[in-house]
């Protein structure tokens, strides 16, 4: 068994997302992986992007088991070998940046998918009863606790009780200590950078992207999926408008309120800078697919990757840490909302526990599971406590 073995994945849209998985070592299809992809797409109704992500993470397990693959061979001992070997490989990858915490988090993501796949095999009778469960099973896992949290919101941070082989001390997702938080001074510095480096169109477009991220806390993909028609429908109104970005994590379709001032700025960009670019270049709207944010080079929808490059380079030029980008404004938004909620609750004498505060802020950030916001709350509570202690000390001098 070895992780140098390969499986080729090929995706097709044929009455829905379909996968063709081919074992390059044995020159044959991998039906278990293909059937599982169909299950995720059809029965679980996951978005195409989510299904692809799930299968890519699970593929590592299949490649580990080649050339003698049989799902009946899977047990705790085999999963432990897979985990440890995958950690070694991940640590060698530059993506982990030599951080064992980052590497463990990556391996945990793959292990979770392995557990869910094994549960599906048992539920679909590809494995016999007793193959996975809490007691006296080949694979140990608390299946009853896992059901209902499998999709749409991910896994609980404290899942090591449900998945015993997960590495501990490997925080799920990007928390406050794993990413850069933008500041108001960053907004000013980036605005100056975009003004000096680009055209009137790119300056206005990039600053608008930044200000939407700062004001709404939306993810890059959600902002980039916005369409002109969503804002043109509210033209002439002086009220907030409700917007559901076409692209949301886990395929959500949630609506968010956008203040009139920001909605009006977006509409002005559409009707002025964007319209002037199209007219000057002789491009029609068909080219833009109605996307608000388009490339100045070809008039086509801006890609998510292009936005990452634009802001990654800009943050680098103004001297911010590696990894700073548009998502840094989402972290800033989250922290500001958390601080506001803590202070409001302190004033009213309300519950200030981390979970209750996270639950209040979660909706604004599009989180189905408030637990994922608890690191932000803890960070803000520590900072506020530190500030209060500092003020008290200065008063007593």
* DSSP conformation letters of 289-358: TTBSSB-TTTSSBPPHHHHHHHHHHHHHHTTPPTT-STHHHHHHHHHHHHHHHHHHHHHHT----HHHHH
The residue from 277, 296, 325 where one domain ends is: 325
Angle at CA of residue 123, ends 121 and 129, nearest 5° = 90
Q: Choose one of 177, 195, 221: the last residue of a domain.
A: 177
256-258 and 241-243 beta bridge pairing: antiparallel
Question: Does pTM surpass 0.85?
Answer: no
- The token pair that represents 366 in the structure block: 């599009």
Is 2 within the bounds of a domain?
A: no
Domain that residue 108 falls in: 7-177
Task: List Cβ neighbours of 320 (8 Å cut-off, separation of 6 or more).
Answer: 180, 186, 328
* DSSP, res 227: B
Q: Is residue 1 in some structural domain?
A: no
Instruction: Give the number of domains in the chain.
Output: 3
Query: What's the token pair of residue 143?
Result: 């299946």
Q: Is residue 246 included in any domain, yes or no? A: yes
pLDDT tens sequence across 197-227:
999 999 999 999 999 999 999 999 999 999 9
Residue 12 lies in a domain: yes
- Assess if residue 186 is contained within a domain: yes
Same domain, 171 and 183: no
Share above pLDDT 90 across residues of the chain, in percent, rounded to a whole number = 43
45, 164: one domain = yes
Question: What is the residue whose two structure tokens read 């909605």?
Answer: 263
247 in helix, strand or coil? coil
CB 88 within 8 A of CB 101: no
Residues 80 and 169 occupy one common structural domain: yes
Are 42 and 141 part of one and the same domain? yes
- Whether the CB-CB separation of 244 and 255 falls below 8 Å is answered with yes
- 199 contact partners, CB below 8 Å, separation of at least 6: 296
Final residue belonging to a domain, choices 159, 177, 195? 177
Percent helix, strand, coil in the chain, to 5, is 55, 10, 35
**Residues pairing with 23 in the sheet:** 7, 28
Same domain membership, residue 159 and residue 15: yes
| 167 shares a domain with 207 | no
The length of the chain, given as a count of residues: 397
Neighbours of 290 (CB within 10 A): 15
Kindly state whether residues 334 and 310 are assigned to the same domain: no
pLDDT (tens digit, 0 to 9) for every residue of the chain, 397 residues total? 444 558 899 998 877 789 999 988 888 898 999 999 999 988 777 888 888 989 998 998 988 887 666 778 888 999 999 999 998 888 887 555 557 777 888 898 899 999 999 999 999 999 998 899 888 899 988 776 555 444 433 444 445 567 888 887 665 444 444 578 999 999 999 999 999 999 999 999 999 999 999 999 999 999 999 999 999 876 666 778 999 999 987 677 889 999 999 999 999 999 999 999 999 999 999 999 999 999 999 999 999 999 999 999 999 999 998 889 999 999 899 888 888 888 888 888 887 777 778 777 877 777 666 666 766 777 776 666 666 555 555 555 5
Contacts of 317 (CB under 8 A, 6+ apart): 193
Tell whether 158 and 189 lie within a shared domain: no
302 and 345 share one domain: no
33/53 same-domain check: yes
CA neighbor of 218 nearest in space, from 247, 177, 187: 247
1 vs 39: CA distance, rounded Å: 27
Domain shared by 65 and 193, yes or no: no
């Amino acid at each position: 068994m070895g992780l140098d073995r390969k499986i080729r994945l090929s995706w097709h849209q044929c009455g829905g997302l379909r996968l063709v998985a081919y074992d390059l070592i044995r020159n044959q299809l991998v039906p278990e992986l293909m059937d599982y992809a169909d299950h995720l797409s059809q029965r679980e109704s996951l978005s195409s992007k989510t299904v692809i992500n799930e299968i890519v993470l699970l593929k590592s397990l299949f490649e580990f088991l080649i050339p003698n693959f049989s799902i009946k061979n899977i047990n705790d001992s085999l999963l432990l070998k897979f985990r440890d070997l995958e950690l070694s490989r991940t640590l060698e990858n530059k993506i982990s940046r030599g951080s064992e915490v980052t590497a463990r988090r990556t391996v945990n993501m793959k292990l979770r998918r392995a557990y869910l796949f094994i549960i599906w095999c048992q539920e679909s009778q590809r494995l016999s009863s007793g193959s996975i469960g809490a007691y006296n099973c080949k694979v140990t896992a608390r299946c009853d606790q896992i059901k209902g949290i499998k999709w749409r919101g991910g896994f609980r941070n404290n899942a090591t009780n449900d998945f015993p082989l997960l590495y501990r001390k490997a925080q799920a997702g990007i928390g406050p200590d794993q990413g850069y938080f933008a500041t108001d001074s960053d907004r000013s510095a980036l605005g100056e950078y975009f003004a000096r480096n680009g055209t009137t169109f790119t300056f206005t477009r990039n600053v608008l992207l930044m200000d939407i991220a700062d004001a709404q806390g939306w993810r890059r993909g959600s902002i980039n999926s916005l369409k002109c028609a969503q804002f043109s429908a509210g033209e002439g109104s002086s009220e907030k408008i409700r917007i559901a970005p076409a692209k949301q994590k886990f395929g959500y379709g949630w609506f968010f309120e956008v203040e009139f001032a920001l909605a009006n700025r977006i509409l002005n960009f559409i009707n002025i800078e964007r319209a002037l670019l199209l007219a000057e270049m002789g491009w029609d709207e068909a080219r833009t697919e109605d996307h608000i944010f388009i490339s100045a080079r070809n008039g086509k929808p801006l890609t998510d990757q292009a936005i990452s490059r634009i802001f990654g380079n800009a943050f680098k030029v103004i001297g911010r840490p590696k990894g700073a980008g548009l998502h840094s404004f989402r972290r800033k938004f989250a922290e500001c909302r958390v601080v506001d909620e803590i202070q409001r609750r302190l004033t009213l004498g309300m519950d200030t526990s981390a979970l209750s505060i996270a639950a209040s802020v979660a909706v604004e950030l599009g989180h189905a599971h408030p637990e994922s916001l608890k690191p932000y709350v803890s960070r803000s509570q520590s900072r506020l406590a530190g500030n209060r202690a500092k003020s008290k000390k200065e008063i007593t001098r």
